[in-house]
Structure 1
Amino acid sequence: MKNKIKAVKFGGSSLCDARSIDNAAKIVLSDDSRKYIAVSAPGKRFPGDEKITDMLYRAFMSSGDEFYGILEKIKARFDEIISGLSLPMSLDDEFSELIYGRKNYFGRDYFASRGEYFCAKIFSAYLGFDFIDAARCISFGENGAFLPELTKLRTAAELSGSTHAVVPGFYGSMPGGTLKTFECGGSDITGAILASAAGCDEYENWTDVSGFMSADPKTVDNPKTISIITYKELRRLSFMGAGVLHEDSVIPLMSDRIPVIIKNTLDPEAPGTRVVSVRNGENDGICGIAGKKGFCILRICKTKIGTNTADTTNILRVLSQRGVSPVSISSGIDCISFTFPKTAIIGREDYIRSEICACIEPVSVTKGPDCALITIVGADPQSRLSDIFSALNKENIAVISVDAGSGDGGITIGVDEDNLDRAIKALYAKLIKRGM
């Protein structure tokens, strides 16, 4: 029988100081199936503290005495961690290289990635695991685009020579060795890459909360923890701001159907949230609601446009050429609406309108007011449309747009930005709280 293998990722809040790192190490060593570990840079130790990565960005943008002052504070934090763990090691050479890299224009991404690099060096030494530099595993092309196939091959080759290893998250390398970082949350992606490349049975993502919340606790009091959610549902919620796990982190796992377990380092025995490909009858209800401000709607009207695929294709081509990607599309017989971040059309609105008019000759092209989008996910949310409208109508909240989804377990609605929090509270009370 094949022994179970797990990939594990620890976030910055779980590695913020020596005590936290010791706790994370105990979690790893308590289960021998935890073989491959991805780490973030140390995060905030207390409210008002600064994340190491933010300090590195500040240092990179500074010069002279300010640069050396920030770097001294960063080194002091790592030295404090090393001392607190009683490790016989030093990062003096690594910080000398960092100064050399700043003077020789190694780049912003190189600088930003050193928090993960230093943390992985420390954590691997404390665990007695191998250290594998992410630059040898994760590949980006000359244009900076992530290369998933090559990454999986390189990562599998590196891991094949190690039974237990720690890999820094957040970055990889381009041809020629230049370092390139993912977006914020990239360490989640690194952990998923390890899980996929090693053929793991599970990917554990350890953070400072006991799973994925069914709504933002800043908006809803004591929201329910989601016990099980699908990859697609999680991606929809994460895109709308539910920030426990980066939405792209499950992409490397989807084809292999590797489940993700979101766990809490401060409460390791809590069941957390399980992220899977298919729910199989478990938790057959609405499981999550998330919303975000900052969107606008472009509404285009023309006779039979809703059934004219050529017109839709032409509109999408115009938007693509102007670098605008809709996040939601809804249509009727004679009107079609595209929703996208309002920042996407700053300085482009007049061009987009004139180009659409030139290629499809619509009756009208109008930009609606700024709006917020709310995503509702779970088993068959389309069957709850009447409840959704009822809950919002009771609070006198008008629905601006509706995207009923395409079989991916979600519905997205648009409301006025000022009504976002009230709408989420009303929907949570109607769709989730009543079923608790």
Structure 2
Amino acid sequence: MKVVKFGGSSLADGEQFEKVVNIIKADQTRKVIVASAPGKRFANDIKVTDLLIEFAHKTINKEDCSSTVKTIWSRYHDIAAYFQISEQLLQPLLQELIALPKADYPNQDYLMASFKAHGEKLNAQLLTLVLQNYHLPAYFLDPQEAGFMVTDNANDTQVMPETYKNLEKWSSRDNVLVVPGFYGITKDGLIATFSRGGSDITGAIWARGIKADLYENFTDVDAIYAADPRIITHPHAIKVMTYRELRELSYAGFSVFHDEAIIPAIEGQVPINVKNTNHPDLPGTMIVPEHDFHPQSIITGVASSSHFAALYLHKYLLNKEVGFTLKLLQIFYKFNISYEHMPSGIDDLTVIFDKRQFNEQIRQQMCFEIQQALQPDQLEWFDDYAIIMVVGEGMRNKIGVMKNITMPLAQKHVAIHMINQGASRISIMLGTKRADAAAAVKEIYQQFFK
């Protein structure tokens, strides 16, 4: 049995819907279909989820929502018209959309979550109607009925352990189950959403819950590539990679697959196949457990991300000062800031952050409190920071990999500010200036894939 997730680009309009229908028809083992909200149809288009966020803000501000509702509904109506779905069958979906501002919400966070989630809910209901129009035994399964329970964080929820037990009973159904991605139901019966892109998470949870043989994730690319196609022209397509390779690469910008989504699949040991809705016959990329995996190359991929910053602290005899790091972490905790890495020396310590956590006021206040509490001889903030991740199961037993990474960078005068090798020995992290990140990726890629 397979769980199949279709992304927003795969369900953006009638033509894309038809491709999805053909994919489902082509394999009778595709039993659970996870639907995203309609995505962009062209470059300057607006995703339905963004329109729903606009709808929510207007509702909160008591503004006229009629034009926004009309725009949202036109997306669903156009798809329905493509398949000649009757107005009578569509009316319940339209009424559900119109009724959103009239429902009771405990606060604005839950209002926003409910509005956003209806992009997926309405699309899953519409896909069910389309599949039934093709005489397929499709059944729309609401998360409430499924027992898809989540925590009460309205817009950044997590799955509850009992969900997996609840989903087991649906594995024996003969229907094609169509479920909305992105959200679940709290213990109080409220809608709560995962972080943006959470339909990937929904699919992985279902795959684990029903003990699927395979989780197929259909998107708009032919495979996961060894480097960003915006940096490397026609990069090498990865045929097979491990869960942890994907996790490491996702950390530095591999955005094909939501990085949190792999956790339920790992826990259930369900292989994942990333495929292209537009070219469904291509093999795509398989993501598999580490056991019995035999790497065919030294590295699997190289990625970069520029959304990092670094705090540098210098203090003589820092290594002798008991509690220095504890005081630092307590300040981070006070400001609700997490750090990524903390390489250190005898008298020096650098803390690397995801800078999207900060605004300028928080950054200045945090640095002020660190200066007051720790009295460093030098405190410096670096906003111009990028992370390069070099990842591969083949690195574990290969001598000289570090030389092959750093030598071409030295030849191109790319300065390395930090090097950190993971304990698993399948990843090496480099810190560089943001302006050098693309050049670093190019040189490393050429060294290993030329």
What TM-score do the two structures reach when normalised by structure 1? 0.90
Taking the TM superposition and a 5 Å limit, the aligned residue runs for 1:182-331 are: 182-278=194-290, 280-302=293-315, 305=318, 311-331=324-344
Aligned to 1:423: 440
Structure 1 CA distance, aligned partners of 2:187 and 2:198?
Answer: 20
Taking the TM superposition and a 5 Å limit, the aligned residue runs for 1:30-429 are: 30-62=26-58, 67-88=65-86, 90-104=89-103, 106=105, 107-125=111-129, 126=131, 127-136=136-145, 137-144=147-154, 145-159=157-171, 163-278=175-290, 280-302=293-315, 305=318, 311-345=324-358, 346-353=360-367, 355-356=369-370, 362-381=376-395, 383-407=400-424, 409-429=426-446
Contact 1:174 1:180 in 2 (8 A): yes
Distance 1:308 1:170, change over 3 A: farther
Contact 2:151 2:160 in 1 (8 A): no
Distance 1:143 1:205, change over 3 A: closer
| Residue identity opposite 1:331 in structure 2 | S
Aligned residue for 1:330, secondary structure, equals coil
Structure 1 CA distance, aligned partners of 2:277 and 2:395?
Answer: 32
Aligned residue for 2:268, secondary structure, equals coil
Out of 15, 29, 34, the position equivalent to 2:25 is 29
Structure 2 CA distance, aligned partners of 1:307 and 1:407?
Answer: 29
Structure 2 CA distance, aligned partners of 1:7 and 1:248?
Answer: 17
Q: State the 1:377 CA deviation.
A: 0.9
Structure 1 CA distance, aligned partners of 2:324 and 2:165?
Answer: 42
Structure 1 CA distance, aligned partners of 2:286 and 2:293?
Answer: 13
Contact 1:8 1:37 in 2 (8 A): yes
Structure 2 CA distance, aligned partners of 1:304 and 1:255?
Answer: 44
Structure 2 CA distance, aligned partners of 1:142 and 1:12?
Answer: 25
Aligned residue for 1:368, secondary structure, equals strand
For residues 323-373 of structure 1, the C-alpha deviation after alignment (integer angstroms, 9 at most, x for no partner) is: 111122323343222100234343234554455466666554332342111
Structure 2 CA distance, aligned partners of 1:307 and 1:207?
Answer: 52
Q: State the 1:105 CA deviation.
A: 5.2
Q: Which is further off, 375-384 or 166-175?
A: 375-384
Q: State the 1:195 CA deviation.
A: 0.3
Gaps of 5+ in 2: 106-110
Out of 5, 16, 19, the position equivalent to 1:20 is 16
Contact 1:306 1:336 in 2 (8 A): no
Structure 2 CA distance, aligned partners of 1:323 and 1:408?
Answer: 30
Aligned residue for 1:42, secondary structure, equals coil
Contact 2:251 2:259 in 1 (8 A): yes
Aligned residue for 2:51, secondary structure, equals helix
Structure 2 CA distance, aligned partners of 1:393 and 1:230?
Answer: 30
Contact 2:137 2:175 in 1 (8 A): no
Distance 1:42 1:291, change over 3 A: same
Structure 2 CA distance, aligned partners of 1:365 and 1:8?
Answer: 50
| Residue identity opposite 2:71 in structure 1 | K
Distance 1:326 1:210, change over 3 A: same
Distance 1:321 1:55, change over 3 A: same
Aligned residue for 2:89, secondary structure, equals coil
Gaps of 5+ in 1: none
Distance 1:218 1:31, change over 3 A: same
For residues 130-157 of structure 1, the C-alpha deviation after alignment (integer angstroms, 9 at most, x for no partner) is: 2111244332323444133122223334
Contact 1:130 1:162 in 2 (8 A): no
Distance 1:350 1:16, change over 3 A: closer
For residues 201-244 of structure 1, the C-alpha deviation after alignment (integer angstroms, 9 at most, x for no partner) is: 11000111111111111111111111122212212222322211
Q: State the 1:75 CA deviation.
A: 1.6
What TM-score do the two structures reach when normalised by structure 2? 0.87
Contact 1:233 1:408 in 2 (8 A): no
| Residue identity opposite 2:102 in structure 1 | K
Structure 2 CA distance, aligned partners of 1:353 and 1:62?
Answer: 37
Distance 1:409 1:314, change over 3 A: farther
Q: State the 1:113 CA deviation.
A: 1.2
Q: State the 1:67 CA deviation.
A: 1.7
Contact 1:214 1:289 in 2 (8 A): yes
Name the count of aligned residue pairs. 429
For residues 74-96 of structure 1, the C-alpha deviation after alignment (integer angstroms, 9 at most, x for no partner) is: 22221221221233463322322
Q: State the 1:177 CA deviation.
A: 1.7
RMSD: 2.5
Contact 1:8 1:206 in 2 (8 A): yes
Q: Percent identity?
A: 30
Aligned residue for 1:254, secondary structure, equals helix
Structure 1 CA distance, aligned partners of 2:252 and 2:277?
Answer: 25
Structure 2 CA distance, aligned partners of 1:348 and 1:80?
Answer: 46
